[in-house]
């Protein structure tokens, strides 16, 4: 069967793939084995400005202006006054991005890439621009090879429960989960509650149920997935990798939506140059590779901090949290973290005025 031709093919129709598609104009084919917005594996929490910039603010379920981090001995409270986070409805967020794109969506399983042709259950397709946004499965760039000595995979399991509140809550406590963390994200009348293993352990239902029991919460249905903890190759051969396929999820915090959108929009702008004939594919691949790898140091730093948190005894975690709040250190890492993906758009007063922090013994 002869391959059908497009200007661009994107494998994966979640955050990264939709962010790329939104930036492209031409004959764009978007492929996924699930309907758009129907296979949520994310906790769906991100800075509010992401939803606002992308024009999908109607998907927001709740806005959060404070984060609370519990360790065995200390509780740290971050009051982010001007840069709140939000939790959102996955289906509405994804459909809001899809309607802004020119992409033709096909529900099908992507099988492989052979001689520049994308093989799927719906046929064979080819394009000068091919993007792998298929997540940790990496359908077009070599399978789940992220789990190597260089780039590790974490795993998270989540459910919904009947808790209401205002803040984003995190627990870093080996008594809940060794080498991992737990979270609770309110979404209006309910909350998303989960546990994540930095070591990539996937049998987390028992720890999650025990954690919920300690909060007197009853779980609903469960969903889980792997996610990377370090950059992978931005390009493989003539294919661009973005989102979890490129290892773009931020280590330590596991925040994946913001980098998926950031690198996806970056890639979309570069790829449009190929479609318009302004850039050769080779130049586009080199430009994207260079721009992604410019963030390599930040990813390595977050990965190193994750390793320390992962391996530290529980009794040390409160002290480490206290150390991170020292002014000489805090004023460096917190603004830099919030600035990721929004370079040049933040208030220069951030170090002094955008947030306040405080710490107290856990349990008070």
Beta strands in 198-253 (DSSP E): 223-228, 235-236, 239-241
Q: At what angle do helices 314-324 and 296-311 cross, to 10 degrees?
A: 140
In a domain, 91, yes or no: yes
Helices 15-23 and 90-98: crossing angle in degrees, nearest 10, is: 20
How would you label 130-143 residue by residue, b for 16+ Cβ within 10 Å and e otherwise? Answer: bbbbbbbbbbbbbe
Instruction: Give 97-132 pLDDT, tens digit per residue.
Output: 999 999 999 999 999 999 999 999 999 999 999 999
One domain for residues 63 and 175: no
User: Hey, is 85 helix, strand or coil?
Assistant: strand
Q: Which domain covers residue 316, as residue numbers?
A: 1-39+54-147+229-364
Task: Give residue 318's pLDDT.
Answer: 84
In this structure, how many other beta carbons lie within 10 angstroms of the beta carbon of residue 1?
5
Task: Tell me the angle at which helices 314-324 and 327-339 cross, rounded to the nearest 10 degrees.
Answer: 80
Let me know if residue 316 belongs to a domain.
Answer: yes
The pair of three-digit structure tokens given for residue 101, joined into one six-digit string: 């794109």
Residue 217 lies in a domain: yes
Residue 353: is its pLDDT beyond 50? no
User: What is the domain count for the chain?
Assistant: 2
pLDDT, position 25:
96
Whole-angstrom distance, CA of residue 64 vs CA of residue 187: 10
Does 45 map to a domain?
Answer: no
Query: Is 46 inside any structural domain?
Result: no
- Cβ(54)–Cβ(341) under 8 Å? no
CA-to-CA distance for 296 and 286, rounded, in angstroms? 16
Q: What is the average pLDDT score of the chain?
A: 90
Do 205 and 318 sit in the same domain of this protein?
no
Give yes or no: residues 166 and 132 share one domain: no
Give Cβ neighbours of residue 217 (< 8 Å, ≥ 6 apart): 161, 162, 163, 191, 193
Q: Which of 203, 228, 253 is the last residue of a domain?
A: 228
Question: Tokens for 106?
Answer: 């096909």
Q: What is each CA distance from 142 to 17, 23, 113, 154, 292, in whole angstroms?
A: 18, 26, 9, 19, 19
**Per-residue model confidence (pLDDT) at position 184:** 98
Of 207, 228, 249, the last residue of a domain is 228
Alpha helix stretches (DSSP H) within 199-295:
205-214, 257-276, 281-293
- Using alpha carbons, select from 240, 229, 282 the residue that is nearest to residue 265: 240
Among 206-215, 282-291, 293-302, 352-361, name the one with the lowest average pLDDT. Answer: 352-361
Please indicate, yes or no, whether residues 118 and 262 belong to a single structural domain of this protein. Answer: yes
% the chain with pLDDT above 70:
88
Provide the H-helix boundaries in the chain: 15-23, 48-54, 90-98, 205-214, 257-276, 281-293, 296-311, 314-324, 327-339, 350-353
Per-residue pLDDT reduced to its tens digit, 310-341: 999 988 898 888 777 776 666 667 667 767 77
pLDDT exceeds 70 at position 147: no
Q: Are residues 13 and 143 in the same domain?
A: yes
- The verdict on 136 and 158 lying in the same domain is no
List the beta bridge partners of residue 60.
88
Residue 178 is part of a domain; what is its CATH number?
3.30.9.10
Is the domain of 276 the same as that of 300?
Answer: yes
Residues 161 and 142 in one domain: no
| Residue 151 binned pLDDT confidence (cut-offs 50, 70, 90) | low
Average pLDDT over residues 137-153: 71
Say which range, 3-17, 70-84, 345-359, has the weakest mean pLDDT: 345-359
pLDDT of residue 337: 77
Are residue 99 and residue 143 in the same domain, yes or no? Answer: yes
Give the CATH number, domain containing residue 237: 3.50.50.60
Question: Mean per-residue pLDDT for 244-267?
Answer: 96
Which pLDDT score, from 0 to 100, does residue 347 have?
39
Q: Are residues 137 and 165 in the same domain?
A: no
pLDDT of residue 178: 95
> For residue 325, what are the contacts with CB-CB under 8 A and spacing of at least 6?
76, 357, 359
Within 10 angstroms of residue 284's Cβ, the number of other Cβ atoms is 24
Residue 83: its pLDDT value, please? 79
Distances in Å between the Cα of 5 and the Cα atoms of 128, 260, 339 are 9, 26, 39
Within a domain: 49 = no
- Higher-confidence residue of 230 and 340: namely 230
**34: number of Cβ within 10 Å:** 12
For residue 361, the model assigns a pLDDT of 73
Which residues are within 8 A (CB) of 34 and not within 5 positions of it... i.e. 6 or more apart? 13, 107
Q: Which of 175, 200, 228 is the last residue of a domain?
A: 228
Residue with the two structure tokens 């009947």: 162
**48 within some domain:** no
- Please tell me whether residues 124 and 171 are part of one structural domain: no
* Residues 265 and 362 grouped into a single domain: yes
Classify residue 296: in a domain, yes or no: yes
Distance CA(242)–CA(233), nearest Å, equals: 10
36 pLDDT exceeds 50?
A: yes
């Amino acid at each position: 069967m002869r391959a059908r031709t497009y200007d661009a093919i994107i494998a994966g129709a979640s955050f990264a793939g939709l962010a790329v598609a939104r930036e492209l104009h031409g004959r764009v084919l978007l492929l996924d084995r699930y309907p758009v917005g129907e296979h949520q594996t994310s906790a769906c929490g991100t800075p509010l400005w992401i939803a606002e910039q992308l024009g999908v603010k109607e998907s927001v379920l709740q806005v959060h202006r404070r984060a609370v981090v519990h360790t065995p001995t200390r509780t740290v409270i971050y009051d982010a006054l001007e840069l709140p986070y939000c939790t959102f409805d996955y289906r509405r967020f994804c459909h809001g991005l899809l309607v802004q794109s020119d992409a033709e969506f096909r529900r099908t399983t992507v099988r492989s890439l052979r001689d520049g042709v994308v093989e799927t259950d719906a046929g064979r397709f080819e394009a000068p621009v091919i993007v792998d946004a298929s997540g940790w499965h990496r359908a077009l760039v070599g399978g789940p090879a992220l789990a190597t000595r260089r780039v590790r995979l974490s795993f998270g399991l989540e459910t919904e429960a009947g808790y209401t509140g205002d803040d984003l809550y995190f627990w870093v406590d080996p008594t809940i989960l060794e080498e991992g963390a737990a979270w609770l994200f309110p979404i209006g009348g309910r909350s998303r509650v989960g546990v994540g293993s930095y070591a990539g352990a996937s049998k987390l239902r028992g720890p999650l149920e025990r954690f919920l029991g300690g909060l007197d919460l009853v779980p609903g249905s469960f969903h889980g997935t792997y996610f990377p903890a370090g950059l992978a190759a931005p390009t493989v051969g003539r294919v661009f990798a973005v989102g979890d396929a490129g290892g773009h999820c931020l280590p330590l915090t596991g925040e994946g939506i913001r980098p998926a959108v950031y690198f996806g929009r970056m890639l979309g702008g570069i790829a449009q140059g190929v479609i318009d004939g302004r850039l050769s594919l080779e130049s586009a691949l080199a430009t994207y590779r260079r721009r992604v790898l410019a963030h390599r140091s930040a990813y390595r730093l977050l990965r190193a901090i994750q390793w320390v948190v992962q391996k530290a005894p529980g009794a040390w975690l409160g002290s480490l949290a206290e150390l991170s709040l020292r002014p000489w250190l805090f004023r460096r890492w917190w603004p830099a973290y919030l600035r990721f993906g929004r370079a040049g758009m933040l208030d220069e007063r951030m170090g002094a005025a955008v947030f306040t922090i405080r710490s107290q013994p856990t349990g008070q």
